[in-house]
């Protein structure tokens, strides 16, 4: 049915079309904007679900791939005798595999839920929904792009709508938070750009023998880079004394620099200690639906980038840096958890718990084996769903009480049993209760890392205990205990609020009980990487 349609482009462009449509609609009709945004968020969801259902691990993402040259700029550098032309190509290359598909699905699910949760937005709907849809396009692009330049463009594209969504629709210190967000992520983008330039300049070219000489083309194509870096006979890996061109040699030192730059770039996004402070502000100041997207998807872009570019392109460096990564992961876990234990503001508890949970992802990546890597992706998806659910609850709660200070709340299980039940479930998922998705991700990450670094894992596991402390402290602080008089009459979640909550909870349970719906698919995505790592270990 959908075989002949460019599905990936449809996923990518549907929100963009939606954004334009929203801008064309008359300003007064708030509900039109809402419905349009919802419809154009649901389209990608349906398409990704179809992808998920029809994805064959044997063929991978090849049937869906879309690839053509978008822009080709000739370079007039002094051409040698045999060289007929020299080009810089910008490719439009979209593809999926077992790693990006789960994250794509996460993006579409969280986007739809956040779109529904945006009912609480009270001002300037038109701009809000336009930016919201633009943000969606950026996120899909990040997970779909297979060209470094294209990836960079989409990565940057997410910054702009986020900046305005935080700065205009946020809480009291929104402008500061938006500025901090932009400064940090701008720094990360700079590092990423530099790393990409290093990679493209050294390993990004292909030479094709034409009739009138060799055609040399530079491009940021992921596949080209992957082959060139992995192939020992590629130009980039040759000794400069043989080729006579030191500028085109990707030396070990350069690889190291590229890896560190990528680590910084994506580390800011993930965020890795000590780059996490911007995220706290976004968590507390941005409007809840935006935080759902931010915590649910944007942080995972860092994970995805780290795995896709740092790990796959530079596996040897990943191996050298794995201990450092694991140490950083353990620091993240414990630092975030301890701080989450003392916060008075529920949103800050959740923010620090995100820091802690992303540490587990780092552990999974650092483990360098399939169990850990799958755990990392699994944990990313699961944390995305859980934190989206938690911030959905926060939004609903704030709408009624006007506060998220734990001290001021209490006993809400009395007046809002449904919401409290969902909150408790989400909390349990967050602290890694078996049967819910959080457990699988945590368990696989720990299990993977334990194979290589036992002591670090044993320390990191302490985070699980601290998670119980901070989750129970905050969740029970809100739902249990005697209820203050002013909260006795507040109403439980409305239908429109309950639907996304139930949907997310159901997904969390599904992933917790049947993890194999995702792991089989991810397995195929990691095969290539593991072969490379094992080759290096063997040779």
Partner 1 sequence: MTFAQYAWLVPLFPVAAFAVLITLGRGAGRQAAWIGTLASLVSLILSLCIAGERLSGTVDEYNAHFTWLQIGNYSLNAGFDVTNLTSLMLVVVTLVSFLVNLYSHGYMRDDERITTFFAYVALFTASMLGLVLSDNLLTLYIFWELVGVCSFLLVGFWFQKPEAKAAAKKAFIVTRIGDLGLLIALLLLFWYMPGNALDFSSIHNVFTTEAGVIAGGITTLIALLIFLGAVGKSGQFPLHVWLPDAMEGPTPISALIHAATMVAAGVFLVARTFVIFQASDAAMTTVAVIGGFTAIFAATIGLAQNDIKRILAYSTVSQLGYMMLALGVGSVSAAMFHLFTHAFFKALLFLGAGSVIHAVHTQDIREMGGVGRNMKITAWTFGIGALALSGIPPFAGFWSKDAILTAALTHQPLLFWVGAVTAFLTALYMARLFFMVFAGNPRGEAHAHESPAIMTLPLIVLAVLAVVAGFVETPFNGWFGEWVTGEKPEAHTSAMVIVVSVAVSLLGVYLGWLIYAKGTVRRDIVSSRIPGLVKVLENKYYIDELYRFILVKPLGGLGKALAVFDEYVVDGVVRMAGQSAAGLGRLNARLQSGQLQGYALTALIGLVIIALAIAGRRFW
Residues forming the site for partner 1 (CB under 8 A): 180, 183-184, 273-274, 276-277, 335, 338-339, 341-343, 370-371, 374, 411, 413-414, 417, 428, 433-435, 439-440, 444, 446-447, 450-451, 457-458, 461-462, 464-465, 468-469, 472-473, 476, 479-483, 515-516, 519-520, 523, 530
For the CB of residue 480, give the shortest distance to partner 1 in the complex, in Å.
Answer: 4
Backbone angles phi, psi at 182, to 5 degrees: -70, -40
Q: How far apart are CA 481 and CA 410, in angstroms?
A: 6
Q: Name the residue nearer to partner 1 (CB basis): 210 or 484.
A: 484
**3-state class of 250 per DSSP?**
coil
Q: Name the residue nearer to partner 1 (CB basis): 226 or 462.
A: 462
Q: How far apart are CA 300 and CA 182, in angstroms?
A: 18
- Report residue 255 CA to chain centroid gap: 24
Q: Name the residue nearer to partner 1 (CB basis): 216 or 331.
A: 331
Q: Name the residue nearer to partner 1 (CB basis): 213 or 481.
A: 481
Q: Name the residue nearer to partner 1 (CB basis): 86 or 363.
A: 363
For the CB of residue 248, give the shortest distance to partner 1 in the complex, in Å.
Answer: 36
Q: How far apart are CA 136 and CA 147, in angstroms?
A: 19
For the CB of residue 281, give the shortest distance to partner 1 in the complex, in Å.
Answer: 9
Which H or E element spans position 258? Answer: helix 252-269
For the CB of residue 353, give the shortest distance to partner 1 in the complex, in Å.
Answer: 13
For the CB of residue 41, give the shortest distance to partner 1 in the complex, in Å.
Answer: 28
For the CB of residue 497, give the shortest distance to partner 1 in the complex, in Å.
Answer: 17
DSSP string of 378-430, one letter each residue: HHHHHHHHHHHHHHHHHHHHHHHHS--BTTT---HHHH-HHHHHHHHHHHHHH
For the CB of residue 262, give the shortest distance to partner 1 in the complex, in Å.
Answer: 21
**What are residue 72's DSSP bridge partners?**
89
End-to-end CA distance of the chain: 47
Do residues 289 and 166 lie in contact, with contact meaning Cβ atoms separated by under 8 Å?
no
Q: Name the residue nearer to partner 1 (CB basis): 133 or 371.
A: 371
Which H or E element spans position 87? Answer: strand 83-94
For the CB of residue 327, give the shortest distance to partner 1 in the complex, in Å.
Answer: 17
**3-state class of 74 per DSSP?**
strand
Q: Name the residue nearer to partner 1 (CB basis): 32 or 480.
A: 480
Q: How far apart are CA 539 and CA 1, in angstroms?
A: 47
Backbone angles phi, psi at 232, to 5 degrees: -65, -20
Q: Name the residue nearer to partner 1 (CB basis): 43 or 475.
A: 475
Q: How far apart are CA 258 and CA 310, in angstroms?
A: 8
Q: Name the residue nearer to partner 1 (CB basis): 147 or 370.
A: 370
Q: Name the residue nearer to partner 1 (CB basis): 202 or 425.
A: 425
Q: Name the residue nearer to partner 1 (CB basis): 153 or 476.
A: 476
Do residues 269 and 305 lie in contact, with contact meaning Cβ atoms separated by under 8 Å?
yes
For the CB of residue 434, give the shortest distance to partner 1 in the complex, in Å.
Answer: 4
For the CB of residue 220, give the shortest distance to partner 1 in the complex, in Å.
Answer: 31
Closest CA to 383 of 351, 343, 419: 351
Which H or E element spans position 10? Answer: helix 7-24
Note every long-range contact of 207-215, with CB atoms under 8 Å and residues 24 or more positions apart, other chains counting. 207/235, 210/84, 212/84, 213/81, 213/82, 213/83, 213/84, 213/85, 214/82, 214/83, 214/84, 215/83, 215/84, 215/85, 215/86, 215/87
Whether the CA torsion 529, 534, 536, 539 is positive or negative: it is: negative
For the CB of residue 447, give the shortest distance to partner 1 in the complex, in Å.
Answer: 6
């Amino acid at each position: 049915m959908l075989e002949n349609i460019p599905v990936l482009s449809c996923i990518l462009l549907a929100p963009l079309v939606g954004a334009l449509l929203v801008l064309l609609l008359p300003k007064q009709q708030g509900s039109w904007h809402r419905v349009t945004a919802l419809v154009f968020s649901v389209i990608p969801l349906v398409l990704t679900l179809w992808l998920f259902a029809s994805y064959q691990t044997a063929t991978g993402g090849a049937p869906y791939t879309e690839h053509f040259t978008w822009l080709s700029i000739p370079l007039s550098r002094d051409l040698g005798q045999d060289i007929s032309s020299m080009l810089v190509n910008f490719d439009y290359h979209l593809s999926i595999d077992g790693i990006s598909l789960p994250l794509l699905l996460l993006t579409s699910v969280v986007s739809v839920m956040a779109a529904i949760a945006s009912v609480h937005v009270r001002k300037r709907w038109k701009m809000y929904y336009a930016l919201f849809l633009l943000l969606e396009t950026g996120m899909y692009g990040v997970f779909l792009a297979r060209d470094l330049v294209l990836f960079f463009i989409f990565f940057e594209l997410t910054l702009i709508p986020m900046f305005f969504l935080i700065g205009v629709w946020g809480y009291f210190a929104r402008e500061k938070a938006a500025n901090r967000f932009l400064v940090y992520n701008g720094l990360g983008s700079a590092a990423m750009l530099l790393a990409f330039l290093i990679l493209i300049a050294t390993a990004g070219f292909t030479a094709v023998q034409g009739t009138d000489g060799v055609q040399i083309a530079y491009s940021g194509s992921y596949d080209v880079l992957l082959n060139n870096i992995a192939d020992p006979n590629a130009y980039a890996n040759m000794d400069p004394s043989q080729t006579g061109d030191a500028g085109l040699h990707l030396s070990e030192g350069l690889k190291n620099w590229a890896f560190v730059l990528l680590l910084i770039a994506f580390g800011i996004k993930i965020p890795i200690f000590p780059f996490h402070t911007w995220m706290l502000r976004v968590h507390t100041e941005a409007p809840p639906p935006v935080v759902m997207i931010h915590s649910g998807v944007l942080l995972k872009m860092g994970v995805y980038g780290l795995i896709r570019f740092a790990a796959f392109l530079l596996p040897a460096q990943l191996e050298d840096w794995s201990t450092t990564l694991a140490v950083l992961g353990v620091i993240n876990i414990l630092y975030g958890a301890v701080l989450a234990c003392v916060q008075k503001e529920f949103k800050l508890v959740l923010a620090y718990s995100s820091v802690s949970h992303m540490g587990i992802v780092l552990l999974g990546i650092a483990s360098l084996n399939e169990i850990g890597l799958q755990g990392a992706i699994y944990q990313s998806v699961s944390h995305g769903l859980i934190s989206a659910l938690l911030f959905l609850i926060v939004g609903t709660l704030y709408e009624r009480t006007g506060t998220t200070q734990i001290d001021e709340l209490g006993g809400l299980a009395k007046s809002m049993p449904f919401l409290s039940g969902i909150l408790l479930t989400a909390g349990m998922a967050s602290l890694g209760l078996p049967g819910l998705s959080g457990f699988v991700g945590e368990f696989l990450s720990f299990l993977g890392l334990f194979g290589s670094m036992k002591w670090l894992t044993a320390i990191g596991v302490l985070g699980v205990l601290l998670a119980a402390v901070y989750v129970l402290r905050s969740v029970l602080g809100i739902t249990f205990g005697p209820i203050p008089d002013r909260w006795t009459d507040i109403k439980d979640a409305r239908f429109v609020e309950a639907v996304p909550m139930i949907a997310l909870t159901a997904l969390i349970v599904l992933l917790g009980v049947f993890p194999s719906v995702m792991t089989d698919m991810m397995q195929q995505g990691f095969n290539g990487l593991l072969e490379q790592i094992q080759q290096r270990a063997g040779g």
